[in-house]
């Protein structure tokens, strides 16, 4: 590729966001701000109750506390930047800040994929092997499991971000997105990105494919075990212990499949509409799932509802 228009990383990047749709910017600023506040409040309350309530000092709620902290970190890595872009047309972001934002969002996304798999294993042991649950899911086991999820996500993010940010960039460094989304950044590269693409494919198999397969197999065994319970009350009680996690998994992976499984339009006018649709889908993926997680666990879990009520009364 011709590098005559190659630009210096020190110049930073320009984020277009919704600058082509100024009427939408004000509406989405208010909407995303409100959703972000709900995320901070809901996940913050979940973290508090899992720490303060001794009844919730179990592996499942330890993972849930990690998930809530992760959701706060994930949204905080991008939402303030998005809100600022709604107020500032063609927002400029320094190269280093772009790298940090990309690293954080990549790390949090990969960690959540692995963590949801760990939570599925926890539910599998609790329902399919309840007598061995205290031994298998001891503190010596579930703390390293959570730590391993974070380590895997951070390691993957270091690899992907360092590979992307070492590339030379061309033109005006205009990113047609709200944030430094890696695919949008790679489009600006003046070099062959086949290694980056291959690395991302491998990462997607490891951090998306493997956890999905693991979760699916776990729930096959879980459902089979639940169906063998003789009483309807026993089946209902057993299913209620994993229904919240299953709902979160469906929302999380369902949104990803919707984002990346849509057919691409070849019509120029349709491509413009799809470009806006892709941006808004990505935007809501970044805030809707973290907002729904504490709501789902609060509505579908009696222990959490009781702990929240006790916290409010104090």
Q: Model confidence over 107-142: pLDDT tens digits? A: 998 999 999 999 999 999 999 999 999 999 999 999
Question: Which phi and psi angles does 230 have, rounded to 5°?
Answer: -65, -40
When pLDDT is averaged across residues 197-204 and rounded to a whole number, the result is 91
Q: What's the pLDDT tens digit per position in 58-80? A: 999 999 999 999 999 999 988 98
**How many domains is the chain built from?**
1
Q: pLDDT band at 222, cuts 50/70/90?
A: very high
How far apart are the C-alpha atoms of 241 and 236, rounded to whole Å?
9
Which structural domain, as residue segments, surrounds residue 94?
Answer: 19-263+270-304
Question: Does residue 244 fall inside a structural domain?
Answer: yes
Strand-pair category, 169-170 with 6-7: antiparallel
Better pLDDT: 169 or 222: 222
Question: Does residue 94 fall inside a structural domain?
Answer: yes
Q: What's the pLDDT tens digit per position in 89-100? A: 667 888 888 899
Question: Does residue 10 fall inside a structural domain?
Answer: no
Question: Does residue 60 fall inside a structural domain?
Answer: yes
Per-residue confidence (pLDDT) for residue 1, from 0 to 100: 47
DSSP assignment letter at 206: I
Q: pLDDT band at 212, cuts 50/70/90?
A: very high
Question: Does residue 9 fall inside a structural domain?
Answer: no
Q: Flag the least confident range among 214-223, 263-272, 287-296.
A: 263-272
Q: pLDDT band at 167, cuts 50/70/90?
A: confident
Q: For the domain that residue 283 is a member of, what is the CATH number?
A: 1.20.1070.10
Q: pLDDT band at 160, cuts 50/70/90?
A: very high
Task: Name the 3-class secondary structure at 91.
Answer: strand
Assess whether pLDDT exceeds 60 at residue 270.
Answer: no
Q: Enter the tokens of residue 256.
A: 């990803």
When pLDDT is averaged across residues 240-244 and rounded to a whole number, the result is 84
Share of the chain above pLDDT 90, in %: 39
When pLDDT is averaged across residues 196-211 and rounded to a whole number, the result is 91
Question: Does residue 257 fall inside a structural domain?
Answer: yes
Per-residue confidence (pLDDT) for residue 138, from 0 to 100: 94
Residue 176 exposure: Cα atoms within 13 Å on the Cβ side: 14
b/e per residue 226-263 (b: at least 16 CB within 10 A): beeeeeeeeeeebbebbebbbbbbebbbebbeeeeeee
Per-residue confidence (pLDDT) for residue 314, from 0 to 100: 66
When pLDDT is averaged across residues 19-38 and rounded to a whole number, the result is 85
Question: Does residue 147 fall inside a structural domain?
Answer: yes
Q: What is the H or E stretch that residue 158 is in?
A: helix 139-165
Per-residue confidence (pLDDT) for residue 284, from 0 to 100: 76
Burial classification of residue 176, based on how many CB atoms lie within 10 Å of its CB (0-12 exposed, 13-18 middle, 19 or more buried): middle
Question: Does residue 254 fall inside a structural domain?
Answer: yes
pTM value? Answer: 0.87
């Amino acid at each position: 590729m011709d590098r005559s228009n190659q630009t210096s990383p020190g110049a930073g990047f320009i984020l277009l966001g919704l600058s082509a749709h100024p009427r939408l910017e004000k509406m989405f600023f208010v909407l995303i701000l409100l959703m972000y506040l709900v995320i901070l409040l809901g996940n913050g309350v979940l973290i508090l109750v899992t720490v303060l309530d001794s009844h919730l000092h179990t592996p499942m709620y330890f993972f849930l506390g990690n998930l809530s902290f992760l959701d706060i970190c994930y949204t905080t890595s991008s939402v303030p930047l998005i809100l600022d872009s709604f107020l500032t047309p063609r927002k400029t972001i320094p190269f280093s800040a772009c790298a940090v934002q990309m690293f954080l969002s990549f790390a949090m996304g990969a960690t959540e994929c692995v963590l949801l798999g760990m939570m599925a294993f926890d539910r599998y042991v609790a329902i399919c092997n309840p007598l061995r649950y205290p031994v298998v899911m001891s503190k010596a086991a579930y703390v390293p499991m959570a730590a391993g999820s974070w380590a895997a996500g951070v390691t993957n993010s270091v690899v992907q971000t360092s590979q992307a940010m070492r590339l030379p960039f061309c033109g005006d460094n205009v990113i047609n997105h709200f944030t430094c989304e890696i695919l949008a950044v790679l489009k600006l590269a003046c070099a062959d990105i086949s290694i980056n693409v291959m690395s991302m494919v491998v990462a997607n198999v490891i951090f998306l494919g493997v956890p999905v397969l693991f979760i699916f197999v776990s729930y096959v065994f879980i459902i089979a075990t639940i169906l063998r319970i003789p009483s309807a009350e026993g089946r209902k009680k057993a299913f209620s212990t994993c229904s919240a996690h299953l709902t979160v998994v469906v929302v999380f992976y369902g949104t990803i499949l919707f984002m990346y499984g849509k057919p691409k339009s070849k019509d120029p006018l349709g491509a413009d509409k799809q470009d806006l649709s892709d941006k808004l889908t990505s935007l809501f993926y970044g805030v809707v799932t973290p907002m729904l997680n504490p709501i789902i666990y609060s509505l579908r879990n009696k222990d959490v509802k009781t702990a929240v009520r006790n916290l409010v009364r104090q």
